[in-house]
Amino acid sequence: MDAEQLFRTYHDTLVRYLTRRLGDRDWAEEVAQETFVRALRQRTLTNERAWLFTVANNLVRDEARRDARRRKHLVLLREEARAQEEAEPEPTSLERAQEAAFARRAVDALAERDRLALLMREEGLDYPEIAAALGLSVGSIGTTLSRARRRLVEAYEALQKRDAGEGGHAAS
């Protein structure tokens, strides 16, 4: 598969996965970019999709480990720049913003392994690919996913209920 085709096939999927994982599209784009750069240095890739996700996971982990402080600083600078821009390309409704905030918190509440497995599954990776990317046995992926899904939904519902309760108090 040539560079362009590899990119066209997997870029959107990888960026969505990373955005969901990191909560930052720019960061996701950068990691995806680096992942493709590395992919193109490989002579052969037996399972392109699993390889890309594994490398992206490793890049995020390595960067988090090595550059935690620098990253915080950059994020801070970026937030400041955004605040100055005062621009929002798509006016997002209060409801959607709240949904997204709850979803973010619910996803962040998951254990790392559960979160990655679930996010990769959502991007269409099959059980062997997820197992390969996370270094788990294929037989354990069903259990991992079922636990992740249940906890995600539970956490989300709890946030909603709490919010509804606070809303009720405020109204009364």
Partner 1 sequence: MQHPDEGTIHAWLDGALSAGEASALEAHVAGCDQCAAAVTEARGLLAASSRILSALDSVPGGVLPATAPRAEIDDRVIPIARPSRWRSPGWRAAAAIVLVGSVSWLATRSTPREVDGNVAAPTEASKVATSAGASQQSMPFAADSTAQIEQQSARPSAPQAVRRTVMRDERAAAEREPTAPANKLAVPPAPSPQANVATTSAMPYAAPRLVEPPNVGTGGGIGATAGRVAAEARMAAPAPAPVAVASADAALRADTSISAPDRAERRMAPASSRMKVSAERAAPRRMALMETTPDADTTAQRLAGCYYLETASSRSSRPAIRSAAALVPAQIELALDFDSSSHAGWRILRPAPGSPQFATGAHATWSAFAADSVQLELGRGSERVTARLEIRGDSIHGNATVIMPQLDAGSMGTGVRGTRMLCSSP
Distances (CA, A) of 58 to 111, 114, 120, 128, 139: 17, 16, 14, 18, 23
Which listed residue (154, 162, 165, 166) binds partner 1 by CB under 8 A?
154
Q: Which residues of 116-141 are buried (b: 16+ CB within 10 A; e: fewer)?
A: bbbbbbebebebebbbbbbebeeeeb
Candidate ranges 44-52, 53-61, 148-156; the one touching partner 1 (CB under 8 A): 148-156
Between 8 and 61, whose beta carbon lies closer to partner 1?
A: 8
Tokens of 41: 């240095």
Please list every residue from 1 through 40 that binds partner 1, using CB under 8 A.
3-4, 7-8, 11-12, 15-16, 19-20, 22-27, 29-30, 32-33, 36-37, 40
Per CB under 8 A, contacts with partner 1 among 56-115 are: 78-79, 81-82, 85-104, 106-107
